């Protein structure tokens, strides 16, 4: 392949995009601008909407977490009281999973999947817009319960049944008023949005790839999003069905989860965790996807073991469907059941181990650039391993019996959700912000953000394991002073506040850099996937001419015509 015939035709060459960074500033009045965002079916705008929506709720749910930590700062605190405390941890959990985690990951997917596979848009742009707006509606509905839901304590109360909402607590007899209804309908609505998005991703992945992009040349990010979409289809649907049953119970007098009439509370637990555990992988696989893109670029090496990575991802997708009851070891299953779910849970550590070692092998011998996205990725690798190790501990049913519903479990899953997922989301924000806005995020503020976040994270969640081992149960609103949990809880709370400061730095950085940031140009990181071949932000039509690819790293081929990947694949 010669210098004059690049694999990807780029209009005007790779440098032409620099002056075209802000096409929308000349678009007329603010009203017209807002209107253009409301009616948009463009996957890039919807992606940004998803991300902004999720960041707003990240601040809200983070604030709820801080209130929880203030309440637990010393024994017999009466800062919020037991009823409000129940609402706070319910809303914190529900918000973080359904209104922060899923939307922000779908947002990045929306933005990146079509660009990475060289497509004009998602397969069904209008379905895409519908999915976003119904998810947004779900968020507003859930939070409207603060003023609209008549609960036990009169008007203005949020759901207080914890994010897994175990029956029969959610039945009409135990949760009068409408708070649980808001919860159920909001999750039903966001579930419909998620299913729509998942169908969209799968159709895009299979039908919209550009010329030359065979299945084994697709970047790993779209591969992982395809796996996630499959998981969403088979796991969000059971949740949707379970919510429908709950609503039948509450409104039509059904008996699905009504133990008085022979219904079963255990069945709800099964239905919830059939969704609930794969949900963890729905959230963590996109984090892996970001790592797959960022780590090679900042190590200046191609990803190690591409085929093994694809196989491991799809393997995680399948195995994760058979592990749900490890959340229910104390519910009284047979010892065969306990053994089965212990072993199937341990099985997940094989493909995840493959991935971890492949990332390490990618970094090994690379010329590492320690910029903010890479810093977050390295912290992610470390924290992910720890989270996996406590996960293996908890998968052993005998050990689990000791620690079920303790702060050890809380520390474990926050290690996954914050230490792995949130860290990779931050890495992704630093990495793709230049592509989305045309401006770089400030590197110095990025480092402040990173170090405060790492220190705060480890203060909070390393320490949190210990009160768990000492027997502190989750979801308690206060504790006795003679339990020796006080100091530990104070360290946890202080770490929480450090993380909050770190997130505020990120928010400031995003707003500041949007106006004052350095111009990014089309390819600030010297990366290799297709989205970096077009101007930042990309024009509405994405690619001026349909790209043609010949390898997994089309831009590498373009920049190094003397040493192309395509010669070796």
Partner 1 sequence: MAGLIVAESAIFTIFVTAYLYYLGRDVTGPTPREVLEIPIFGTVCLLSSSGFIVLAERAIEHGKMAAFTLWWAVTMLLGAIFLADTANEWYKLIVHDHLTISTNLFGTCFYSLVGLHASHVIVGLIMMLVVLLFALGRKVHPGHAERVKVLAMYWHFVDAVWVVVFTVVYIIGR
Q: Which residues bind partner 1 (CB under 8 A)?
A: 195, 198-199, 202-203, 229-230, 233-238, 240-242, 244-245, 248-249, 252-256, 260-264, 267, 271, 274
- The nearer residue to partner 1, 233 or 396, going by C-beta atoms, is 233
Tokens of 77: 């605190």
Min dist. Cβ of residue 103 to partner 1 (A):
19
Count of alpha carbons within 13 angstroms of residue 280, beta-carbon side: 25
Using an 8 Å Cβ cutoff, are 303 and 358 in contact? Answer: yes
154 DSSP β-pair partners: 151
Cβ(382)–Cβ(295) below 8 Å: no
Half-sphere exposure of 282 (CA within 13 A, CB side): 28
Q: How many CA atoms lie within 13 A of 398 on its CB side?
A: 0
Rounded Cα distance, 547 and 27, in Å: 29
Please, which residue, 75 or 254, has the CB nearer to partner 1? 254
Nearest distance in Å: CB 191, partner 1: 10
Distance of closest approach, residue 261 Cβ to partner 1, in angstroms: 5
Residue placing its CB nearer to partner 1 in the complex, 236 or 421: 236
Q: In this complex, which beta carbon is closest to partner 1, that of residue 254 or of residue 539?
A: 254
**Least distance CB 486 / partner 1 (angstroms):** 44
- Enumerate the H helices of 438-485 as residue ranges: 443-469
Long-range contacts of 504-512 (CB under 8 A, 24+ apart): 505/445, 505/448, 505/449, 505/452, 506/426, 506/429, 506/449, 507/55, 507/59, 508/445, 509/441, 509/442, 509/445, 509/446, 509/449, 510/429, 510/433, 510/441, 512/442, 512/445
- Spell out the SS3 assignment of 242-268: HHHHHHHHHHHCCCCCCHHHCCCHHHH
Q: Tell the smallest beta-carbon distance from residue 168 to partner 1 (Å).
A: 14
Q: In 3D, which of 207, 395, 231, 238 has the Cα closest to residue 314? A: 231
Cross-strand bridge partners of residue 548: 211
C-alpha–C-alpha distance, residues 49 and 71, integer Å = 33
Closest CB to partner 1 among 66 and 199? Answer: 199
Q: Measured from the CB of residue 339, what is the shortest distance to partner 1 in angstroms?
A: 22
Work out how close the CB of 254 gets to partner 1 at its nearest, in angstroms, rounded to a whole number: 4
When the beta carbons of 320 and 499 are compared against partner 1, the nearer one is: 320
Q: With respect to partner 1, which residue has the nearer C-beta, 274 or 381?
A: 274
Nearest residue (CB) to partner 1, 9 versus 253:
253
Minimum CB distance to partner 1, residue 210 (Å)? 22
Give strand pairing partners of 473.
406
Per DSSP, the three-state class of 545 is coil
Cβ at position 224, least distance to partner 1 in Å: 17
CA-nearest of 366, 110, 112 to 218 is 112
Nearer to partner 1, 271 or 430 (CB): 271
By beta-carbon proximity to partner 1, the closer residue of 14 and 274 is 274
> Shortest Cβ distance from residue 193 to partner 1 (Å)?
12
């Amino acid at each position: 392949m010669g210098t004059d015939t690049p694999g990807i035709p780029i209009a005007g060459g790779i440098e032409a995009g620099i002056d075209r960074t802000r096409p929308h500033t000349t678009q007329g009045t603010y009203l017209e601008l807002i209107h253009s965002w409301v009616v948009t079916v463009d996957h890039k705008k919807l992606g940004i909407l998803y991300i902004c929506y999720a960041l707003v709720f990240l601040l809200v749910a983070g604030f709820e977490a801080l209130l929880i930590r203030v309440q637990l700062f010393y024994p017999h605190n009466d800062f919020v009281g037991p009823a409000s405390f129940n609402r706070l941890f319910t809303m914190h959990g529900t918000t973080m999973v359904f209104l922060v985690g899923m939307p922000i990951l779908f947002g990045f997917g929306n933005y990146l999947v079509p660009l990475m596979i060289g497509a004009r848009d998602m397969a069904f742009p209008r379905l895409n817009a519908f999915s976003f707006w119904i998810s947004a509606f779900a968020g507003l509905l859930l939070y409207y319960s603060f003023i609209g839901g008549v609960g036990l304590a009169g008007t203005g109360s949020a759901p207080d049944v914890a994010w897994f909402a175990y029956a029969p607590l959610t039945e009409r007899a135990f949760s009068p008023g409408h708070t649980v209804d808001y919860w159920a309908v909001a999750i039903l609505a966001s579930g419909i949005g998620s299913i729509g998005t998942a169908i969209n991703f799968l159709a895009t992945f299979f039908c919209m790839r550009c010329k030359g992009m065979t299945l084994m040349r697709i970047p790993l990010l779209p591969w992982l999003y395809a796996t996630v979409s499959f998981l969403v289809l088979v796991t969000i649907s059971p949740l949707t069905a379970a919510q429908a049953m709950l609503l039948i119970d509450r409104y039509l007098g059904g008996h699905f989860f009504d133990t008085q009439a022979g219904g079963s509370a255990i069945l709800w637990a099964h239905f919830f965790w059939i969704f609930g555990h794969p949900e963890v992988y729905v959230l963590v696989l996109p984090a892996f996807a970001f790592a797959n893109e960022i780590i090679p670029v900042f190590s200046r090496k191609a990803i190690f073991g591409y085929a093994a990575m694809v196989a491991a991802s799809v393997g995680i997708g399948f195995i994760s469907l058979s592990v749900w009851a490890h959340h229910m070891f104390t519910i009284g299953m047979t010892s065969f059941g306990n053994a089965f779910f212990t072993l199937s849970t341990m099985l997940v550590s094989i493909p995840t181990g493959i991935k971890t070692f492949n990332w390490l092998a990618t970094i090994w011998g690379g010329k590492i650039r320690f910029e903010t996205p890479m810093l977050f990725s390295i912290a992610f690798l470390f924290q992910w391993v720890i989270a996996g190790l406590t996960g293996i501990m908890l998968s052993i049913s005998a050990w689990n019996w000791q620690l079920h519903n303790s702060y050890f479990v809380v520390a474990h899953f926050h290690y996954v959700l914050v230490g792995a997922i949130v860290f990779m989301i931050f890495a992704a924000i630093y990495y793709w912000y230049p592509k989305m806005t045309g401006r770089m995020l400030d590197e110095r503020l990025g480092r402040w953000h990173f170090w405060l976040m790492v220190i705060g994270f480890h203060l909070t969640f390393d320490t949190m394991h210990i009160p768990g081992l000492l027997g502190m149960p989750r979801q308690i609103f206060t504790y006795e002073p003679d339990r020796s949990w006080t100091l530990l809880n104070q360290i946890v709370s202080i770490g929480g506040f450090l993380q909050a400061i770190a997130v505020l730095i990120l928010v400031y950085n995003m707003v500041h850099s949007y106006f004052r940031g350095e111009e990014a140009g089309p390819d600030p990181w010297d990366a290799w996937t297709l989205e970096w071949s077009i101007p930042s932000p990309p024009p509405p039509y994405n690619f001026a001419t349909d790209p043609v690819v010949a390898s997994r790293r089309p831009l590498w081929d373009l920049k190094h015509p003397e040493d192309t990947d395509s010669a070796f694949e």
